[in-house]
Structure 1
């Protein structure tokens, strides 16, 4: 197999009670995590106190150099 630079994305493991800051996109800003399921995360704005349940959308990104790609499962 050839070696390539690969970017890895992993769903972020939200925890109820976390204070988070999203740096970009339409949901940017400060939020409190108030609910988490396998498919949804519920966030509350600390200013308006409005709550929103969204499909999980945040991912942790990591870049690795010279890894096998594609990987066999």
Structure 2
């Protein structure tokens, strides 16, 4: 088992923020147009396409930490 784990936490998205999402080696440009506790809605600034994503944990900051030990 690894002695370090990557820390995931909710990113504090803000309406009007421009984000870049890396997928399959490419960066996708998105504008944040709506945010609530469960979802984030983004809009492509070039094509106008809108998507709503479940607001799960998004990695940011590159932080790692020691995982909790599993004592059965």
| Superposition TM-score tier, normalisation by shorter sequence | 0.7 to 0.9
Residue 36 of structure 2 aligns with which residue? Answer: 37
Farther off after superposition, 54-63 or 41-50: 54-63
Which of structure 1's runs of 4+ aligned residues deviate more than 4 A?
A: none
Larger proportion of strand: 1
Alignment of 1:1-73 (within 5 A): 4-24=3-23, 28-57=27-56, 59-61=58-60, 62-64=63-65, 67=66, 69-70=68-69
Structure 2, unpaired ranges of 5+: none
TM-score normalised to structure 2 length: 0.73
Q: Would the alpha carbon gap of residues 6 and 58 (structure 1) be closer, same or farther in structure 2, given more than 3 Å must change?
A: closer
Of structures 1 and 2, the one scoring higher in RCO (CA 8 A, sep 6+) is 1
Q: How well do the aligned residues superpose, as a CA RMSD in angstroms? A: 2.1
